[in-house]
Amino acid sequence: MRVVVGQGSCGIAAGAGKVYNALASLRANPSDFSLETTGCIGMCFLEPIVDLYEGEDLKARLVHVAEGDAEKIVNAVLQNNLDELKPMMISDDDASFLSQQTRIALRNCGIIDPTDINSYKAKDGYMALEKVLKTMTPEEVIEEIKVSGLAGRGGAGFPTWFKWNAARGSEGDEKYLICNADEGDPGAFMDRAVIESDPHNLIEGMLIAAYAIGASEAIVYVRAEYPLAIIRLENAIAQAKAEGIIGDDIMGSGFSCKFRYMAGAGAFVCGEETALIESLEGKRGMPRLKPPFPAAAGYKMKPSNINNVETFANVAWIINNGGEAFAAMGTEGSKGTKVFALTGKVKRGGLVEIPMGATLRHVIFDIGGGIREDKKIKAVQMGGPSGGCIPERLLDTVIDYKALSATGAIMGSGGMVVMDESTCMVGMAKFFLDFTSKESCGKCVHCRIGTRRMLEILTRIVEGNGKDGDIELLEELCNAIKDGALCGLGQTAPNPVLTTIRYFRDEYEAHINDKKCPAGECMDLLHYRIDPEKCKGCTMCARNCPVKAISGETKKPHVIDESKCIKCGHCMTLCKFDAISVE
């Protein structure tokens, strides 16, 4: 029997490392069972997960495994009696999270051992590279990608073949192939999962692209906040080098390509391709004016091509299965599958890969299991700081570049954050502007000052100091910034504001005109009151208030001093007589 422990970042955070160690310490003899590591299967809501395999057959998937369960697992495995483990096995309902998905980019995630190249090879790993190097010309590779309809998964959705073709056609014998693994959207983790769980798939996709454009070096720019991804990638690069898959005369084909990675240092704007190139060159990550595009003059001013991690993760599959098989999935304008990081107030959060053309409702309710505590969904945020909030009534929108853009949001890189009725939409807009104004690199005025002005206005609205005309002023600023900003960061920064005004104007108006937050989230607009009729003067609240904002004599109604109150709500949870209310 093979005992496989899921050890991606989220699994480890949930305690998978401890489970693994406990299993290892209980294994008297390595021949008893084989204990293995795998990456992230994407069912983060069930971590830590332990899979029991007989050969390639999954016999049982155990979820929410604790360190203390190790003994039970080891005994059951040794006696080959898995019935004992029934209570820990995944429910059919939860299993449908995975069974409703179609996995291409994530096909090996949570299945193979990411630390072992042979585990990848056993799943047809590096077969596509061999096929490309030995039987296809670069033009044929680009043609196959064109047939597949693969578009960039980093956000903009630009046809991948077109970029490859442009870089191939650029003059110059020194070209670079770059992978954007900066994954800046806060609330998205698809790329992290791919690198942690299937790093060789990324390397293979990149080498195929390098061959297609004629690059002599491939570089991964990976986010600094992903230490485990960096370790796994470094290890995978070393293994591939040792096997002659990276380096000179790869697989005896005559094609040579160096390969390295660079860790970013924490700057959202470095996800923008020209800023990323500046950063690769050791400079401040300030975007360049385009044109020239990277295809003509990128890294070190040489022809370069940049793609996202997930884009590359599809490439080997397309070569192995043919572009047509990929294009058979999806919609007219959006082919293949897309990976989403489903999070927020959803019951089942994790990684979802589905063919384009599915509806948002399907993803959130059928796969994600609906909203926690069965509350009402309010909206879903897609595309992070560059995207927008899509309201409940538009949840039947299909996942397609054009259809999503029509809502004012974007496909984005795959962040999908679900919000329920307790999330304030003005607060959400302020949250993103707080982010973009801090992350603005400062090069252009529209973005540097414009985002700051917007943040000031949003701040005064949520603090109850909003003025008549603030909504119109915000809209005016949004349009000016969209037109005037130098790079995508500024051009898209207004999207969260524009979409929330478009769909939730009433919430803005409630804050400005009535000084009320309908979601009950904006602290400054909350007022805690004690009902003198109900208050028995038990002093419980007064004694426990952390800022001593409540006063009153024993057995007499108490009062809250609003100037001191920090609105922590502690008094309300303590009151036995239901005398404290919030509005």
Partner 1 sequence: MCDCKDEKGKALDAVLDEYGRDAGSLIGILQKTQDIYGYLPSDVIYYVAAQTGTTPAKVMGVATFYTQFRLEPVGKYLIMLCKGTACHVNGSDRIEAAITNELGIQNGETTKDGLFTLKNVACLGCCSLSPVMMINEETFGSLTPDKAVEILNEFKKRKEEIA
Ligand X SMILES: Cc1cc2nc3c(=O)[nH]c(=O)nc-3n(C[C@H](O)[C@H](O)[C@H](O)COP(=O)(O)O)c2cc1C
User: What is the contact surface with ligand FES in residues (CB under 6 A)?
Assistant: 186-187
d(CA 370, CA 45): 13
- Select 107 or 192, whichever has its Cβ closest to partner 1: 192
- Select 36 or 196, whichever has its Cβ closest to partner 1: 196
The residue range among 47-55, 126-134, 153-161, 278-286 that interacts with ligand X, by the rule CB under 6 A, is 153-161
- Select 186 or 537, whichever has its Cβ closest to ligand FES: 186
Partner from ligand X, ligand FES, partner 1, none contacting 180, C-beta within 5 to 8 A by type = ligand X
Binding mask 499-538 for partner 1 (x = CB under 8 A): ----------------------------------------
Verify binding: residue 155, ligand X, rule CB under 6 A: yes
Type of residue numbered 97: F
User: With contact defined as beta carbons under 8 Å apart, do 566 and 549 qualify?
Assistant: yes
- Select 155 or 355, whichever has its Cβ closest to ligand X: 155
Q: 366 Cβ partners below 8 Å, 6+ apart? A: 96, 100
Give the one residue of 108, 148, 165, 180 binding ligand X; rule: CB under 6 A: 180
Partner from ligand FES, ligand X, partner 1, none contacting 488, C-beta within 5 to 8 A by type = ligand X
Verify binding: residue 408, ligand X, rule CB under 6 A: no
Verify binding: residue 423, ligand X, rule CB under 6 A: no
The H or E element spanning position 444 is: none
Tokens of 473: 């002023």
d(CA 337, CA 356): 5
Binding mask 239-268 for partner 1 (x = CB under 8 A): -----------------------xxxxxxx
Verify binding: residue 306, ligand X, rule CB under 6 A: yes
Verify binding: residue 20, partner 1, rule CB under 8 A: no
Give the one residue of 381, 413, 451, 492 binding partner 1; rule: CB under 8 A: 381
- Of the candidates 112, 190, 193, 132, which has an alpha carbon nearest to the alpha carbon of residue 316? 132
**Total residues binding ligand X (CB under 6 A):** 22
Q: How far is the CB of 135 from partner 1 (least distance, A)?
A: 37
List Cα–Cα distances, 521 to 185, 372, 421, 427, 527, in angstroms. Answer: 23, 17, 10, 8, 11
Residue with tokens 């240092």: 265
Residue 562, classified by CB atoms within 10 Å of its CB into exposed (0-12), middle (13-18) or buried (19+), is exposed
Q: How far is the CB of 387 from partner 1 (least distance, A)?
A: 10
The residue range among 128-136, 238-246, 302-310, 427-435 that interacts with partner 1, by the rule CB under 8 A, is 427-435
Give the one residue of 86, 241, 284, 375 binding partner 1; rule: CB under 8 A: 284
Q: How far is the CB of 486 from partner 1 (least distance, A)?
A: 16
Q: How far is the CB of 497 from ligand X (least distance, A)?
A: 16
Verify binding: residue 184, ligand X, rule CB under 6 A: yes
Q: How far is CA 409 from the centre of its chain?
A: 16
First-residue to last-residue Cα distance in the chain: 58
- Select 304 or 334, whichever has its Cβ closest to partner 1: 304
- Of the candidates 124, 497, 514, which has an alpha carbon nearest to the alpha carbon of residue 320? 124
Residue 483, classified by CB atoms within 10 Å of its CB into exposed (0-12), middle (13-18) or buried (19+), is exposed
Verify binding: residue 307, ligand X, rule CB under 6 A: yes
Residue 282, classified by CB atoms within 10 Å of its CB into exposed (0-12), middle (13-18) or buried (19+), is exposed
Q: 367 Cβ partners below 8 Å, 6+ apart? A: 96, 97, 100, 101, 342, 348, 352, 354
The residue range among 55-63, 209-217, 265-273, 404-412 that interacts with ligand X, by the rule CB under 6 A, is 265-273
Verify binding: residue 224, ligand X, rule CB under 6 A: no
d(CA 434, CA 485): 17
User: With contact defined as beta carbons under 8 Å apart, do 449 and 398 qualify?
Assistant: no
Residue with tokens 């005016």: 476
What are phi and psi for residue 195, nearest 5 degrees?
-70, -40
- Nearest to ligand FES by Cβ — which residue? 187
* Site residues for partner 1 per CB under 8 A: 9-10, 12-14, 44-45, 47, 183-189, 192, 224-227, 262-268, 279, 281-285, 341-345, 349-350, 381, 384, 415, 417-419, 423, 428, 431-432, 435, 441, 546, 568
* Site residues for ligand X per CB under 6 A: 152-156, 158, 180, 182-184, 269, 271-273, 306-308, 311, 413, 487-489
